[in-house]
Amino acid sequence: MLSSTLQDAMNEQMKNEFFSAYLYMAMAGYFQSEDLPGFASWMRVQALEEMTHGEKFFNFICDVDGRTELRPVAGPKNDFTLPVDAFEYGLEHERFVTERINKLMDLAREEGNHAAQIMLQWFVTEQVEEEASFSLIIRKLKRVEGDGRGLLLLDDELGRRTFVPPAAAAGG
Ligand SMILES: [Fe+2]
Ligand SMILES: [Fe+2]
């Protein structure tokens, strides 16, 4: 059972997750245009993960006999001046998502919706990881600032990230 308030908030968050996928694909395009295929690949993996986050909301709404509503997704920012700007923009976006997830959790608590709280708990943990991974890459980018070789090494490192489907991921 989903209250109409919680259902509305979950549909809105589903949209935010799909928007995240759209934003990170835009960043993949930016990195591709900068000849940084490793960064682009990292962003593609990030976008795939965000699609699975959107699906988690979709599945949950269906499982509790709610009604899904796919809302319009805004156009993302496509251009950045420097690689670090893209990651800083991404970190800001992740902080916004964390805030939304926290608000959703508050709502689920107020309503005493235990199933929703357990489902949202996964997202609370995930957001800690999301912010941490963006922050770490920002620190690494700042460390190699102006050093082309350092940037290429980082490109190599990020290019090794692979997409782990949610069923195989811990806690997914
Ligand atoms: Fe997400
Ligand atoms: Fe995210």
Ligand at minimal distance from the CA of 122 is 1
Distance 147 CA to ligand 1 centre (A): 31
Distance 9 CA to ligand 2 centre (A): 17
**Cβ neighbours of residue 88 closer than 8 Å, sequence gap 6 or more:** 138
Answer positive or negative: Cα dihedral of 172, 125, 86, 104: positive
Distance 148 CA to ligand 1 centre (A): 31
| Proportion of the chain above pLDDT 90, given as a percent | 95
pTM of the model: 0.95
Ligand 1 ion: residues within 5 Å (CB): 17, 50, 53
**Residue carrying the six token digits 């926290």:** 102
Q: Provide the pLDDT for residue 172.
A: 45
Residue 169 pLDDT level (bands cut at 50, 70, 90): low
